[in-house]
Amino acid sequence: SLLKQFSEGHSVDLGERVIVVGGGYAALDAARTALRMGSGKVTIMYRRALEDMPAGRGEVEEALAEGVEVRVQSLPTAILSRRGRVSGLRCTRTKMGRRDKGGRRPFMVIEGTEFEVEADSIIAAVGQEPELSWLPENYPLGRTRRNALTVNEKLATSVEGVFAAGDVVTGPSSVVEAMASGKRAAQSVHQFLSIREGSR
């Protein structure tokens, strides 16, 4: 909602100190947007290590260069308030485990390492997944656990003639990657239609 308001030209007073919770592209975008809206100190809190952030390394480096602080292995546990307003975030330190078969490293809480960070605003940018409520109920498209659509190497779904691309397939990604995916899907659609036309 913050990014939408900013793109529509609206200004939001987030205060001087802003915390963004998350490690994906939306979190990086929100943090950089908060700086552009006038906040003086913007901190990203991410529960895993820097190399495990879903956002691309280039995006992270650009955010750091712009002035965003990134605090990794910091798990939010409570939002703090004072006189009915947000005053900060309580976190605890984490440590990383070994990578699983999918390449993901689990994290574990380090007991006794709680700390607090003051904030005027907290932006949650976690748990993104595609919005598929527009699809008819029980429509036979294959989906992943995170509600993304499953496709083959040609970006074809489990329904003949239906292709998918971008974030609805990969999950949160960059605009460049989404556009490249869309181009590949368009080529597959063209090939699919050409074969059907030729068989008539």
Rg (CA), the chain: 20
Any idea which residue has 């078969």 for tokens?
101
Distance separating alpha carbons of residues 70 and 20, to the nearest angstrom: 9
Predicted pLDDT of residue 61: 94
Distance separating alpha carbons of residues 72 and 79, to the nearest angstrom: 18
8-state DSSP, 135? S
Predicted pLDDT of residue 127: 67
Q: CB neighbours of 19 closer than 8 A, spacing ≥ 6?
A: 42, 43, 44, 45, 88, 89, 117, 119, 121, 122, 123
pLDDT along the chain (200 residues), means of 10: 87 94 92 94 96 89 96 96 95 92 85 97 84 82 84 93 91 79 94 81
The structure tokens listed for 157 are 């779904």
Q: Is the whole-model pTM more than 0.85?
A: no
Instruction: For residue 15, give the 3-state DSSP assignment.
Output: coil
Predicted pLDDT of residue 67: 97
